[in-house]
Amino acid sequence: MTQLTLQLSINPAAARHPISPLIYGINAIGINDEDFNKLSQAIKSPVVRWGGNATTRYNWENDFYNTGKDWYFENIPRDNPDRSQLPNNSAADRFIQRNKAAGTESFITVPIIGWVAKAKAKTENDPNPLGHPYNCGFKVSKYGEQQSTDPYDPDCGNGIRRSDSSRITGNDPTDTSIAVGPDFIRRWVAHLVKKFGNASAGGVRFYGLDNEPGIWFETHRDVYPGYLSYEELLQRNIDYAAAIRQADPNAQILGPVQDGWTRYFYSSYGSYPDKTAEADRKAHNGQAFVAWYLTQLYAHDQQSGKRTIDYLNLHYYPQAAGVALSPAGNNTTQALRLRSTRSLWDTSYVDESWIKDTENGNTAVQLIPRMRAWVNRHYPGLKLGISEYNFGAIDDINGALAQADVLGIFGREDVGLATLWGAKVWNKQPALTADLPVVFAFRMYQNYDGQGSKFGDISIPAASADQGQLAIYAAQRSSDGALTLMIINKSDTALSAQIDLGDFIGGESAQHYHYSATDLHSIVKQTDLPISNGAINGTFAAKSINLLIIAGSI
């Protein structure tokens, strides 16, 4: 049987745009120094984020954080070899210093919830202020028996009554936390500027306005159990961004950092149907929260003469079953994962999850075009940020294929900044380390030869006769003029292709670097592919990521 040859093409003469280097970022809170150094050497990450639920109540002065719902609402001290120096050399300070040593920009999440973790007092009966028992939001001794308790600290519960499965309400937020306002953040940023310089002089360049505020009612319900309205979230963004700008006018600020699909359209939303959230949106003429937020920020900033945020920043986890934060799964799930990357860009891709039945039905997420349309209509000039995303299977070739596709999409679609969420999820996802297949997907773009060589930084339009089977992304390197092509075979069989190079004038052959399930621990340099009559003919192995480099001129 004759194998079908797929047609791929690039169009060097069409409109181009720079690819932001910041799309190759990661989240790295909780990654130890040894693993971070290996990751940094492997993928040369340009930006690393301090984020997640544990940052919503991080206290920079005492170096404590609250775990929130993730682990019994407990106040935990960050590892610190010498707490006598605080607030100097806190975990956040050392995170930033580590990034600077690696040549990486820091993205710091600042609390805007109005509460931060308090330190535990040393007493005669409890002489260890850094260990168990911790301060926690729902002590059994104070609020009664609960459905679940910390196995290491049985007085700390999950805030759900054992008797009737109802939530404990009316608890005291000061059990764990100290009330703070924007000045607390102004002083933190001022501390960071004093220690590391301002954003334009080697200091912290990026600040995120908290983490997923639309679900505080769940993740941090011991201090914020209620509904977060359109107006309140907007005002908190304005007030805390102003505090950051006061301390460092050159900082880049990202907001509103909503967690996912529902909170793009509602400032907050509990279990369906949430009548309070529905009424709030109706009171704003039915406008999606993000659209309303941008409209109000634009009006405010026009009047003040200062920009509140620099990036519209959202989180995105595909909602199709078994995809995000999950193992590879069976063949059906793996195929679904590879299709789900279309939700980032394809206006015709009706989502294969509950999302399809939301809004007007037959819904396509089309995340990046949707974000861009919101910005163009309501606050022109903002960049796009996605500071958490995950397509799962990070320890499998299936996840590597999806990640390579995602990075190609981010570059082609002109995303400004993106940071992969790679924290460990028990029984589902290992912690991010340099030897994982998903990291090799990054390396194909950032360090394919182990010498720091990269995919191009100027996006060139490219097309495939079947992008779902054999995807292609193209870019030229501004440093040497080389044309780089990322070709991802998502199928279970080898695929042949003819690649039309258009009017690109370059060398007589293409270098070929290859990553596949055949060897999950290395990127292999293959035999060069000849160029004939302005085209390359090649066969690409099943489930493989392939980078072609063609010498050119600047």
Residue 128 located in a structural domain? no
Q: Are residues 397 and 481 in the same domain?
A: no
Residues 6+ apart with CB under 8 A from 78: 63, 64, 65, 90, 91
CATH of the domain at 477: 2.60.40.1180
What mean pLDDT is predicted for residues 277-291? 98
CB 67 within 8 A of CB 53: yes
Residue 141 located in a structural domain? no
- Mean pLDDT of all residues belonging to the chain: 96
Helix (H), strand (E), coil (C) string for 303-370: HHCCCCCCEEEEEECCCCCCCCCCCCCCHHHHHHHHHHHHHHCCCCCCCCCHHHHCCCCCCCCCHHHH
Q: Is 104 exposed, middle or buried (0-12, 13-18, 19+ CB in 10 A)?
A: buried
- Quote the pLDDT of residue 1: 38
Indicate the number of domains in the chain: 2
What mean pLDDT is predicted for residues 494-520? 94
Q: Are residues 372 and 398 in the same domain?
A: yes
CB atoms within 10 A of CB 54: 22
- Quote the pLDDT of residue 58: 98
Q: Are residues 246 and 102 in the same domain?
A: yes
Least confident segment among 5-9, 126-130, 188-192, 370-374: 126-130
The pTM assigned to this predicted structure is 0.96
Domain boundary among 423, 450, 477: 450
CATH of the domain at 366: 3.20.20.80
Q: Are residues 335 and 428 in the same domain?
A: yes
Residue 411 located in a structural domain? yes
Residue 164 located in a structural domain? no
CB 108 within 8 A of CB 206: yes
CB 289 within 8 A of CB 263: yes
Look-up of token digits 């670097």 = 513
- Quote the pLDDT of residue 3: 58
Instruction: Give per-residue pLDDT as tens, 126-169.
Output: 888 899 999 999 999 999 999 999 999 999 999 999 999 999 99
Q: Are residues 542 and 406 in the same domain?
A: no
Q: Are residues 195 and 230 in the same domain?
A: yes
pLDDT at 375 over 70: yes
DSSP 8-state code for residue 40? H
Q: Are residues 486 and 513 in the same domain?
A: yes
- Quote the pLDDT of residue 280: 98
- Quote the pLDDT of residue 409: 98
What mean pLDDT is predicted for residues 452-474? 97
Look-up of token digits 């060398």 = 507
pLDDT at 4 over 80: no
Query: Domain range holding 472?
Result: 459-550
pLDDT at 124 over 80: no
Instruction: Give per-residue pLDDT as tens, 56-91.
Output: 999 999 999 999 999 999 999 999 999 999 999 999
Q: Are residues 391 and 344 in the same domain?
A: yes
Residue 142 located in a structural domain? no
Residue 127 located in a structural domain? no
Q: Are residues 430 and 509 in the same domain?
A: no
CB 216 within 8 A of CB 269: no
- CA 163 to CA 170: how far, in whole Å? 17
503: left (phi over 0), alpha (psi -120 to 50) or beta: alpha
Least confident segment among 122-126, 418-422, 448-452, 468-472: 122-126
Q: Residue 458 is which amino acid?
A: I
Structure tokens at 433: 């380390």
Residue 158 located in a structural domain? no
What mean pLDDT is predicted for residues 213-231? 98
Residue 444 located in a structural domain? yes
Domain boundary among 450, 472, 493: 450
- CA 510 to CA 11: how far, in whole Å? 17
CB 157 within 8 A of CB 54: no
CB 421 within 8 A of CB 27: yes
